[in-house]
């Protein structure tokens, strides 16, 4: 039913000399993520020291959300959190 309605609307619009084109939906980027990307890029940062890394949440955020391509060196003094971070580390 939706396809029929779409086809009818497109026919009417084309009959008036226009065409309908669907543009891809714009991806909304969190302003804080964009600010961090800009900061890392502007200062050409390729190494991040994550002191008190816990289980590596910030490093995961930098890689997965921000798209950081550099190296992250994480320090965690608590053995239980260090084990979790070591298990999920990236090369």
Is residue 37's pLDDT more than 60? yes
Q: Residue 66: in which H helix or E strand, if any?
A: none
Question: In this predicted structure, what is the pLDDT of residue 90?
Answer: 62
pTM over the 0.85 mark: no
pLDDT tens readout for residues 43-72: 999 999 999 888 889 999 999 999 999 999
């Amino acid at each position: 039913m939706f396809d029929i309605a779409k086809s009818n609307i497109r026919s009417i619009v084309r009959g008036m000399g226009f065409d309908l084109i669907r543009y891809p939906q714009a991806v909304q980027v969190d302003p804080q993520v964009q600010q961090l990307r800009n900061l890392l890029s502007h200062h050409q940062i390729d190494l991040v020291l994550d002191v008190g890394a816990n289980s590596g949440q910030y490093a995961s955020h930098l890689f997965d959300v921000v798209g950081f391509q550099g190296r992250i060196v994480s320090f965690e003094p608590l053995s239980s959190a260090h084990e979790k971070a070591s298990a999920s580390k990236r090369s």
